[in-house]
Structure 1
Amino acid sequence: MSRPLIAILRGVTTPEATDIAAALIDAGIDRIEVPLNSPTPFDSIRAMVDAFGDRALIGAGTVLTVADVENVKAAGGKLIVSPNADADVIAATKAHGMQSFPGVLTPTEMFAAIKAGADGLKIFPAFKLGLDGFKAVKAVLPKDVPVFAVGGVGAADFKAWLDAGAAGFGMGSSLYAPGFTADEVSKRATAMVAAYDEATS
């Protein structure tokens, strides 16, 4: 069962990338992004795609340029996540057949991203918009556009955000931070999946 949880592996290194990815996938998290301000991110993406591309949706975060999109495509990535909504990045992502999840915070950014062809939206930073703000914008967004909450939203918040209409979550340092072992990531991912399952039961 795939859950709408995206693991954000900021700072992951290429030698550990496949072990970390294996820990996440085995725990039930099969959407993984490597932020491009990590060490050798394209090599890490390529290593994870080679090992698990048939079992997980793997790609990049902090994607800011069309050139970045092309490099992620060349590494085999299929997911493009950005902190902002850049129409050129979205268009390039879709032209390469990849999934586009740009970062947005205001209604203007949300509708501009949808118009540009985004597959879904990443509310970032979600804690700044808050639940009340999210409920207000969700009421006017197209029902078929999935919205993920990222930034300051933890496992304890899952149920409230899901009840408000969130489709899923991006999880960063609560799952992985530089120095975490694959075993530690496994334990954190297992707890995160359990929290999500409880919130949706």
Structure 2
Amino acid sequence: MDVFKPSPCPLVAILRGLTPAEAPRVGQILFEAGFRMLEVPLNRPGAIDAIHALLRDAPDDALIGAGTVLTVQDVDAVKEAGGRLIVSPHCAPDVISHAAKHGMIALPGVATPTEAFRALEAGAHGLKLFPAEMIPPAAVKAMHSILPVDTPLFPVGGVQPHNMAAYVSAGAAGFGIGGSLYQPRIDEAALKRAAESFMAARRNLVEDAL
């Protein structure tokens, strides 16, 4: 699975509660900081319109889509909006296969080896390890050892710049970052500081791997 190879250790910005009005400025700050994967969870009003707004100004190499995708109908709505990234909190084989069939990138949530293998069989491009507070680096290492070697693992939940290295050492390929990066109506300066902090941690990890 080489879909994430152009961007080592990709960071997915989880923009829960993002409004269409906020989206252009939030997107600009994150793109300037180096983020290229953005998801807007669908369980807040205006998510699809916010995805539209992000896509209007997104760089060509950006991967924009939705989180909290629970149904096949959700996948269709994101596809119609132009989104290409489908992130779920759970393992729903019908959602995964539907997204993959339409050329979208599926990152379903899993917490056990059983769920992980079910997700891969359905066509998942990577696995969201959620909630990561329940899946410490030692558990990631154990899961990584039994999964296909090219399976991208993305811990999500409680991720901070200071704990990323332990997860990468255990086999994580990237991260999903939510409330520690973005919250609704966040001050722009605070968003910029958080984005730069996460990107600095990412750069250190990439440089250490070279």
Q: What's the offset of the Cα at 1:135?
A: 1.0
The structure 1 segments of at least 4 consecutive aligned residues displaced by more than 2 Å after TM superposition are 181-184
Is 1:85 the counterpart of 2:113? The answer is no
User: For the residues of structure 1 that align with 2:49 and 2:191, how far apart are their CA atoms?
Assistant: 20
Q: What's the offset of the Cα at 1:189?
A: 0.4
User: For the residues of structure 2 that align with 1:92 and 1:182, how far apart are their CA atoms?
Assistant: 36
Is 1:24 the counterpart of 2:35? The answer is no
User: For the residues of structure 2 that align with 1:30 and 1:129, how far apart are their CA atoms?
Assistant: 25
For residues 24-67 of structure 1, give each alpha carbon's deviation from its aligned partner in whole angstroms, at most 9, with x where no partner exists: 01001110000001221000001111221624110000000000
Find the residue that maps to 2:12 and give its secondary structure.
strand
* Residue 152 (structure 1) aligned to one of 153, 158, 180: 158
Q: What's the offset of the Cα at 1:199?
A: 2.8
Partner of 1:191: 197
User: For the residues of structure 1 that align with 2:136 and 2:198, how far apart are their CA atoms?
Assistant: 21
* Residue 114 (structure 1) aligned to one of 117, 120, 124: 120
Percent identity over the alignment is 49
| Kept after mapping to 1: 8 A contact 2:92/2:119 | yes
- Structure 2: 5+ residue runs without aligned partners? 1-5
Question: What amino acid sits opposite 1:14 in the alignment?
Answer: P
Q: What's the offset of the Cα at 1:195?
A: 1.4
* Residue 45 (structure 2) aligned to one of 39, 64, 84: 39
Task: Summarize the alignment of residues 60-79 of structure 1 with structure 2, pairs less than 5 Å apart.
Answer: 60-79=66-85
For residues 135-169 of structure 1, give each alpha carbon's deviation from its aligned partner in whole angstroms, at most 9, with x where no partner exists: 11110000111010101221111111111110000
* Residue 51 (structure 1) aligned to one of 57, 67, 71: 57
| Kept after mapping to 1: 8 A contact 2:31/2:59 | no
Partner of 2:13: 7
For residues 105-159 of structure 1, give each alpha carbon's deviation from its aligned partner in whole angstroms, at most 9, with x where no partner exists: 0000000000000000000001202111111111000011101010122111111
Q: What's the offset of the Cα at 1:200?
A: 3.1
* TM value normalised by structure 1: 0.96
For residues 154-186 of structure 1, give each alpha carbon's deviation from its aligned partner in whole angstroms, at most 9, with x where no partner exists: 111111111111000000011100120333212
* TM value normalised by structure 2: 0.92
